[in-house]
Amino acid sequence: MTEFTKSKRMMHYSGQCVCGTISFSTRTEPLRITICHCAWCQRRTGSAFGVEVVFNENDIVFAGDTPQIYRHVSDESARWLDSRFCPKCGANLGFTLEAVPGIQTLPAGAFDGSGQFTAKNYQTRHVYIRSRRDWADLSSDVEVFEAHFRS
Ligand SMILES: [Zn+2]
Ligand SMILES: [Zn+2]
């Protein structure tokens, strides 16, 4: 037991894809949060990193349509990675890795009120920072706006 699991309330979470065709709920708290900066996560999300809320696969329940799966085989490890997505809107719905049996992720941004996933409440790790993009940093080298710069 880590300090993270001892102190928190037992919560069940829900979320959905952009169009609402697929929704999901979880039976338990997440095991951890992994923020992955690998090149595969950059491609599959189209962003600087994937923010993955990690569960045992049996603790995730999908409703509505069944997520489509795209299987990618890693150049580096030769193992498969299955990414899930909505067949209608294409939204990212997490992934499963051959390397980590029994584990499935859901993207933090797809949850209802994803603000609960804080590093204070859950073990949170940044991985593959060797391919981290500096344009995602809120450093003094980039301009930062509370809303859009046009507003
Ligand atoms: Zn959708
Ligand atoms: Zn990754």
What separation in Å is there between the alpha carbon of 150 and the centre of ligand 2?
Answer: 32
Contact assessment for residue 25 and residue 16, using Cβ atoms and an 8 Å cutoff: no
Domain 23-132 fold is: 2.170.150
Give residue 126's pLDDT.
94
Model pLDDT for residues 3-41, shown as the tens digit of each residue: 555 445 566 899 999 999 999 999 999 999 999 999 999
Q: Quick one: which of 87, 1, 107, 96 has its CA closest to 46?
A: 107
What separation in Å is there between the alpha carbon of 86 and the centre of ligand 2?
Answer: 19
Give residue 140's pLDDT.
83
What separation in Å is there between the alpha carbon of 52 and the centre of ligand 2?
Answer: 9
Give residue 137's pLDDT.
84
Higher pLDDT among residues 4 and 98, named by residue: 98
Domain ranges of the chain: 23-132
Q: Is the pLDDT of residue 85 over 60?
A: yes
Confidence band, pLDDT 50/70/90 cuts, at residue 112 = very high
What separation in Å is there between the alpha carbon of 49 and the centre of ligand 1?
Answer: 21
Ligand in nearest proximity to the CA of 91: 1
Ligand in nearest proximity to the CA of 90: 1
What integer is the mean pLDDT of 123-144?
Answer: 89
The encoded tokens of residue 148 equal: 């859009």
State residue 74 phi and psi, 5-degree precision: -65, 135
Give CA–CA dist 17/127, Å, rounded. Answer: 25
What separation in Å is there between the alpha carbon of 84 and the centre of ligand 2?
Answer: 14
Give residue 96's pLDDT.
97
Q: Is the pLDDT of residue 101 over 50?
A: yes
What integer is the mean pLDDT of 78-104?
Answer: 97
